[in-house]
Amino acid sequence: MPQKKQPPTVRLRRLAAELRRLRSGADLSREDVAEQTGINTTTLYRIETARARPQKRTLMSLVALYEAPAEQRDYLVALLRDAGQQGWLRPYHSDLPEEYTAYISFEDEALGVRNYETSFIPGLLQDEDYARAVIRGVLPTATEGEVEDRVRARIQRQGVLTKSKPLRFWAVVDEAALRRVVGGSRVMQQQLRHLVEVTKAPNITVQVIPFGAGAHPGMPGQFILVEFEDPMDMDLVYIDSMAGDLFLESDAEIRRYRSIFDNLVAVALSPNDSAALIAEIAQERARKGG
């Protein structure tokens, strides 16, 4: 069985971006570089798109060709040295999709995450029973072992919210996600109570778009905008859809999704009013015998 490749890290993405910038600044095409260094164009493409980690001698050949100053060469060598460091280890998550494990790595290294959800409570705010019910519902053919692997991964991910420098998490959720009864009334009531509690953390903001807001820019589907502290680290958008997982990284795409999120914030209830609505829906569930 082929070995599962490591997902890219923020450092590897940064190294790739720097090498692209240096080549562009030297006014060289990939074909020019291949001719002058012997590094084939396919290998160079994979290095510049963070699909492959270059060997040190390859990196040194490139920075010499690009005439990078000594200080920058040292910086790139340090990036290469640390490029394989994952945000957290997943010894029992080897069967998770590569795109998802890549997202987990980026999430752990992020400064902030903005998450819009249409149908679910955001993964970082789910309790264990709700997460299990969601995963079973979305993946009806998954084995119990596969379900439990994903539940453990989801719960372990939530450590980013309580680590020494916690992730800044801002979620906008459609009211439909709060009213859909996932896992039964008791599980849903418990999840809503959990959501009320986690919204009290200073690094977590939750806003709800009520049904009364009508049509809004988020109706086509959910997305996650990941933001990094170092300006050298490119922000990215992660979309989990029926067609597969997708990462978007271009400036135009990041601006578009940031604008969409800002619009969603504008039509959503304030954080305080959102917390009140969540508590009200939880009480409704309790009155119905949840």
Return d(Cα 58, Cα 38) in angstroms, integer: 10
Q: What is the mean pLDDT of residues 89-96?
A: 49
Q: Residue 270 pLDDT > 90, yes or no? A: yes
* Number of residues assigned to the chain: 290
Model-level pTM?
0.77
Which residue type does 101 have? T
pLDDT at residue number 75 = 84
pLDDT at residue number 113 = 98
Percent of the chain exceeding pLDDT 70 equals 91
pLDDT at residue number 3 = 47
Average pLDDT, the chain: 88
pLDDT at residue number 88 = 41
Q: Residue 266 in contact with residue 218, Cβ under 8 Å?
A: no
Q: Residue 187 in contact with residue 129, Cβ under 8 Å?
A: yes
What domains, with CATH codes, occur in the chain? 10-82 (1.10.260.40), 98-287 (3.30.870)
pLDDT at residue number 7 = 55
Residue 204 backbone phi and psi in degrees, to 5: -120, 125
Q: What is the mean pLDDT of residues 237-242?
A: 86
Return d(Cα 273, Cα 276) in angstroms, integer: 5
pLDDT at residue number 100 = 81
